[in-house]
Every structure is written in structure tokens, then in C-alpha cells.
Structure 1
């Protein structure tokens, strides 16, 4: 993505709904969310629960930011009941370190996967 942003910074990189981002803008958004994740101590080997509406710029930025910091993401459909999200996240061997809900990064609840 960095190579594309350098070569064609104003080229369209993301077009979803009413959000259009060029490579420069996408890279900036991914970088900002990545820094937020790093501020929570997220890095290689961590898991990040993502519960963001499908087909939104927030979802794509969240996934790219998680991957950029070297972590893995655990997606849960935003329309699933809270109990389903809790089940998925608590069945992980380590559970997520943080969750991304909408555009927000939240610490996981200790002892559970959190919502």
C-alpha cells in the first residue's frame, strides 16, 4: 500500500458508500488507527476484535491498521447479538487484547473477550 501511495497518492484507493479515499488519505487513516492501536500496546502476535459494519470505510481501515501493526483481527458481524460476539471472543485461546467497535478502540474486559 505504501508503494501505491508513493507512486499514485491521488489515485482512488477506496470507494464505499459516500466515502472516497485516495491512497494518501487511506494511508493517513490507516496510520492514525495504527497509532491508536500501538498506544494500547498492540503489536505482533496480538488479536484485535473488530465489530464494525460491513462495507464501510471504517471496516477496511480497521483491518488494514490491525495488519499494519502486525496483529491479527477477529471479525464479528455488527448485527450479531452481543452474546454471539462474547462467545466468539471468549473461545479464543488468548482472547482479543482490544476491540474495535465502530471507529473506536476499546480495551478488552479482563477475563473475557468483551464487547
Structure 2
């Protein structure tokens, strides 16, 4: 299945509510952000705290266009926490940090406008 980042693309095929519930999207706070020079596409390595039930997880995120390393710690972000870990070079990415494309297709992080408890699940 190909996912289009084109804002003019039609909506994806309809799914059942149970399929939506199978994707576990949680909120977490970025604790650390580091350069990831080994990545094929410009990215950062993130350590994100999802609260006591999920814990701390690592993610590779292609967010270098809009975010400087020093502005990321403390920022809350949404991520899919129940995908299998993915090896990216020598780095194991444990969660998929979520974002939307800007006009140029660069990632803008998806995060709450008001602080919420880490580990909260999207509904």
C-alpha cells in the first residue's frame, strides 16, 4: 500500500473502526535529540518518554528542515507505538513519530496545542 503525501490526493479506502483502534497512537515528550549523520535522508535520533505504561522509546525522524536539535527536548509529539521496531542503519527506531507535510513536503510534527499527560492515547 502506498501512502500519498500529496494534499490533493483523494481519501484512502474506508476502514472499519476496529482497524483504526488497532493503531496505537500515544503522546510523549522528547527527552533527547541527537544528530543522525549516518541516515540516508537528513534525520534526528529522538528519545521520547511515553509515560509509565509504554516507557521511553527511540525514534528516527526526518524533521531537520523545521526543527533545530535544541528546540526539541520538552516538545510533546504523537507517535505510533505498536509497529515493530525498524532498523535504520545502526539505529533501532522503536516508534513512528507523526507529522504532516508542509507545502514543500517537509515534515511538520503533530503535537497537542496544550500539554497533556505522557502516554495518552489518541481517540
Instruction: Verify same fold: TM over 0.5.
Output: no
Shorter-chain TM-score: what band? under 0.3
Instruction: With the length of structure 2 as denominator, give the TM-score of the two structures.
Output: 0.25
Greater share of residues in helix: 1
Q: Which has the higher contact order (CA 8 A, sep 6+)?
A: 2
Instruction: With the length of structure 1 as denominator, give the TM-score of the two structures.
Output: 0.26
